[in-house]
Amino acid sequence: MSKTVTANGFALDDAGQRIVVDPICRIEGHLRIEVNVDENNTIRNAVSTGNMWRGLEIILKGRDPRDAWAFTERICGVCTGVHALASCRAVEDALDIEIPRNANSIRNLMMLAQYTQDHLVHFYHLHALDWVDVVSALKADPVATSALQQSLSPWPKSSPGYFRDVQNRIRRFVESGQLGPFANAYWGSPAYKLPPEANLMAVTHYLEALDFQKEIVKIHTIFGGRNPHPNWLVGGMPCSINVNETGAVGAINMAWLNQVSDIINKSITFVDQVYIPDLKAIASFYKDWTYGGGLSGKNVMAYGEFPAIANNYTNESWMLPNGAILNGDLSTVHDVDPRDPEQVREFVTHSWYEYPDPDAGLHPWDGVTEPRFELGPNAKGTKTNIEALDEGAKYSWLKAPRWRGHAMEVGPLARYLVAYARGQEDIKMQVDGLLSDLGLPITALFSTLGRTAARGLECSWAAHKMRTVFDDMMANIKAGDVATANMQKWEPDTWPDDTKGVGFGEAPRGALGHWIHIRDTKIANYQAVVPTTWNASPRDPEGNIGAYEAALLGTPMADPEQPLEILRTIHSFDPCLACATH
């Protein structure tokens, strides 16, 4: 290959040193990244490989469509519930089932809680250590850290003594020699820019966020019986509401509703007083680390999420809108229709799958999942000991989804750009506020940091939105509507013989769609195209590279032996490989 320019306009050069990072840690699932760096240690070629496949699309065939949510929920436990929701929507679409208003509100609450928890955990536990030096926190002055904290937010856990205790704990931990999850990392690298006090504050919040995240998901526990993997139901939600009748203790009652309300308040406080201030503080030290934009300034897409109106999955109803932006043209937002066979298609030319026509794209309703593992002629190593992959051939367990033939970036940043371009006020205010606080232009969003910032803003948006949705639901219950499930078409004998449906929306990591074909009351075909499938996608037959590969290009590495820069950019997408390959 050596030097080429891809169809989507990226220059690739695989001449220099090849660096392999496998496993990429602090993500969900198994991902491998290979890059070539030039003589200045700048990345000139990038290869993203999904390292796992389980075959859920095959396993689903022949099963009862009403059970599918439980299977697909197990696609991922990190974004738990989102596949269950997509699956319920797909079956409801196929069978023409309308869900009650309360079910819509409960689903929105659960999904919003998922956004809030997932984004929070991602920021502190999966991403922060790319920016925060744990060891440097030992050098911090607790008094100065306390002052820093108090200058940023009214969060009460901010005394010098508190920070001293945490610091001592870390010190003892480090001195013990048993460094646990912090061992062998890149502490002290010149790529870390935070002063010790900011590091100590962030490490402290790493621990606080770990404690707090488990409170947010209690919303799932109340409505879905547990978290992770709460329960869902085709036709609505399985939890009944009973606020004023005999037996209310055995249903969603006033005590539980109060608890939900309380969790919402606490979530808003935590996100706004801890996460957002930390995000701004950290970002302000990395303003000149402008890499990792990749596809974000070109092609982004969102299906839309959070229907304000039950059973209405259009922009009339979406609280976060649907749309696609091509070539960075924010003035035109295209409508995205997951049903249109011309729009969403998956390719497998570079994927470990087989199609009847190897280079054709298939719309998911006609999708085929047929595994075929093989290494290209230029791969190094053996089948079971791969040293380097051959990206000219098949090289990943991910398929390559494309929208009208374009590789697209999806996720919080994509959603925010679509909403921004559509002129949605609440989102515009948030984005403009952050940019003016940091003194940055909108183009600064097209970067690793932009992706991380959008996620933070969205976390806050989601926490606040829970309040709106909850209040709406209470008003509806007050008006006397307690229905949570529509069981009219529960029995298979009420179903058509042959029908198709699609369930789509936005998972925390981006656009998610499940396509189902039901024949004779059983699943004839089931296909999922998942956020990380879009972002971590391998190349397509035209040579378009996916978002991960694009985002790594042009990034200088301080030390190619220490893949910190690769981790930063890849982590900014919040990879989920179990999702991507399923």
Partner 1 sequence: MPVQETFYEVMRQHGITRRSFLKFCSLTAAGLGLGPEFAGKIAYALETKPRTPVIWLHGLECTCCTESFIRSGNPLAGDVILSMISLDYDDTLMAAAGHQAEELLEQTIEKYDGQYILACEGNPPLNEDGMYCIQGGKPYVEKLRHMADHCKAIIAWGSCASWGCVQAARPNPTRATPIHKVILDKPVIKVPGCPPIAEVMTGVITYMIAFDELPELDRQGRPKMFYSQRLHDKCYRRPHFDAGQFVERFDDEGARKGYCLYKVGCKGPTTYNACSTLEWNGGLSWPVKSGHGCLGCAEDNFWDKGSFYSAVTNFGSLGGAEATADKIGGILAGAAAVGVAAHAAASAISHIKSSKSRGARHE
Which residues 471-510 are close enough to bind partner 1 by CB under 8 A?
Answer: 482-485, 487, 490
Residue 541 interacting with ligand SF4 (CB under 6 A): no
Q: Which does 238 bind (CB under 5 to 8 A by kind): ligand SF4, Mg ion, partner 1, none?
A: partner 1
Q: What is the DSSP string of 305-340?
A: EEESSTT--STTTEEE--EEE-TT-TT--B---TT-
Q: Which does 507 bind (CB under 5 to 8 A by kind): ligand NFV, ligand SF4, Mg ion, none?
A: ligand NFV
Question: Residues 59 to 78: which contact ligand SF4 by CB under 6 A?
Answer: 74, 77
Closest CB 573 distance from ligand NFV, rounded Å: 9
Helices 448-478 and 412-421 meet at what angle, rounded to 10?
Answer: 70
Burial profile 362-400: b = 16 or more Cβ within 10 angstroms, e = fewer = bbbbebbbeeeeebeeebeeeeeebebbbbeebbbbbbb
What lies within 8 Å, CB to CB, of 503 at 6+ separation is: 85, 86, 87, 88, 89, 90, 91, 92, 93, 513, 514, 516
Q: Give the interface segment with partner 1, choosing from 35-43, 210-218, 407-415, 470-478 (CB under 8 A).
A: 210-218
Residue 18 sits at the vertex; the CA angle it makes with 17 and 20, to the nearest 5 degrees, is 145
* Distance in angstroms (rounded) separating the CA atoms of residues 386 and 382: 5
Q: Give the interface segment with partner 1, choosing from 60-68, 334-342, 451-459, 529-537 (CB under 8 A).
A: 60-68
- Tell me the torsion sign for CA atoms 561, 565, 567, 569: negative
Q: Give the interface segment with ligand NFV, choosing from 73-81, 204-212, 323-331, 364-372 (CB under 6 A).
A: 73-81
Residue 32 interacting with ligand SF4 (CB under 6 A): no
| CA gyration radius, the chain | 24
> Of the two residues 240 and 261, which places its CB atom closer to ligand SF4 in the complex?
240
Closest CB 171 distance from partner 1, rounded Å: 8
Residue 512 interacting with ligand NFV (CB under 6 A): yes
Closest CB 183 distance from ligand NFV, rounded Å: 26
Helix (H, G, I), strand (E, B) or coil at 119: helix
CB 582 within 8 A of CB 528: yes
**For 122, which DSSP code?**
I
Q: Which does 185 bind (CB under 5 to 8 A by kind): ligand NFV, ligand SF4, partner 1, none?
A: partner 1
> Of the two residues 40 and 184, which places its CB atom closer to partner 1 in the complex?
184
Pairing status of strand 522-529 against strand 510-519: antiparallel
> Of the two residues 40 and 385, which places its CB atom closer to partner 1 in the complex?
385
What lies within 8 Å, CB to CB, of 269 at 6+ separation is: none
Query: What are the tokens at 69?
Result: 């949510």
Closest CB 157 distance from Mg ion, rounded Å: 44
Residue 528 interacting with Mg ion (CB under 5 A): yes
Q: Which does 79 bind (CB under 5 to 8 A by kind): Mg ion, ligand NFV, ligand SF4, none?
A: ligand NFV
Q: Give the interface segment with Mg ion, choosing from 162-170, 352-360, 524-532, 570-578 (CB under 5 A).
A: 524-532
Nearest to 112 by CA among 298, 268, 285: 268
Q: Which does 528 bind (CB under 5 to 8 A by kind): ligand SF4, Mg ion, partner 1, none?
A: Mg ion
> Of the two residues 242 and 499, which places its CB atom closer to partner 1 in the complex?
242
Residue 78 interacting with ligand NFV (CB under 6 A): yes
Helix (H, G, I), strand (E, B) or coil at 293: coil
Question: Exactly one of 163, 576, 581, 582 binds ligand NFV (CB under 6 A); which one?
Answer: 576
What letter represents residue 356's amino acid?
A: P
C-alpha dist (Å) from residue 355 to 140, 369, 370, 507, 580: 57, 8, 7, 28, 18
Residue 26 interacting with ligand NFV (CB under 6 A): no
Give the contact letters, 434-463, x = binds to partner 1 (CB under 8 A), - = no.
------------------------------
Pairing status of strand 323-325 against strand 300-302: antiparallel
CA atoms within 13 A on the CB side of 534: 32
Residue 217 interacting with partner 1 (CB under 8 A): yes
- Phi, psi (deg, nearest 5) at residue 369: -125, 105
Give the contact letters, 372-411, x = binds to partner 1 (CB under 8 A), - = no.
-x-------x-xxxxx---------x--------------
> Of the two residues 29 and 304, which places its CB atom closer to ligand SF4 in the complex?
29
Residue 30 interacting with ligand SF4 (CB under 6 A): no
Q: Give the interface segment with Mg ion, choosing from 83-91, 267-275, 446-454, 525-533 (CB under 5 A).
A: 525-533
Query: What are the tokens at 325?
Result: 């932006």
Q: Give the interface segment with partner 1, choosing from 84-92, 235-243, 441-449, 467-475 (CB under 8 A).
A: 235-243
Residue 252 interacting with ligand NFV (CB under 6 A): no
* Distance in angstroms (rounded) separating the CA atoms of residues 110 and 564: 34
> Of the two residues 5 and 210, which places its CB atom closer to partner 1 in the complex?
210
Q: What is the DSSP string of 226-286?
A: SSSS---BTTB-S--B-SSSTTGGGSB-HHHHHHHHHHHHHHHHHIIIIIHHHHHHHHHHS
Question: Exactly one of 68, 152, 469, 579 binds ligand NFV (CB under 6 A); which one?
Answer: 579
Query: What are the tokens at 401?
Result: 């989804």
Question: Exactly one of 1, 11, 15, 207 binds partner 1 (CB under 8 A); which one?
Answer: 207
Q: Give the interface segment with ligand NFV, choosing from 32-40, 92-100, 223-231, 527-535 (CB under 6 A).
A: 527-535
Query: What are the tokens at 161?
Result: 């003594």
User: Using CB under 5 A as the criterion, which residues of the chain lie in contact with Mg ion when the complex forms?
Assistant: 528
User: Using CB under 6 A as the criterion, which residues of the chain lie in contact with ligand SF4 when the complex forms?
Assistant: 74, 77
User: Using CB under 6 A as the criterion, which residues of the chain lie in contact with ligand NFV when the complex forms?
Assistant: 28, 76, 78-79, 82-83, 507-509, 512, 530-532, 576, 579-580
